[in-house]
A = this chain, B = another copy of it.
Amino acid sequence: MESKRNTEQKKTILNALMCADHPTASELFEVIRRENPRLSRATVFRVLGQFADDGVVRRLHFLGSDTRFDARTVPHAHCHCIKCGRVTDVFDGDFTPLLALNEVGDFTVLSTEIEFNGICADCSRATGDN
Contacts and interface: CB of A to CB of B under 8 A. Distances in A.
Interface of A: 59, 61-63, 77, 79, 81-82, 88, 90, 92, 94-95, 98, 101, 104-121, 124
B111 A114 contact: no
A117 B111 contact: yes
A128 to B, nearest CB: 13
A105 B77 CA distance: 13
Contact of A117 (B82, B94, B113, B118): B113
Given A63-B61, A95-B98, A98-B98, A118 B109 contact: yes
Contact of A79 (B79, B95, B104, B117): B104
Given A79-B104, A109-B117, A113-B114, 5 more contacts: A90-B104, A101-B116, A107-B116, A110-B117, A114-B114
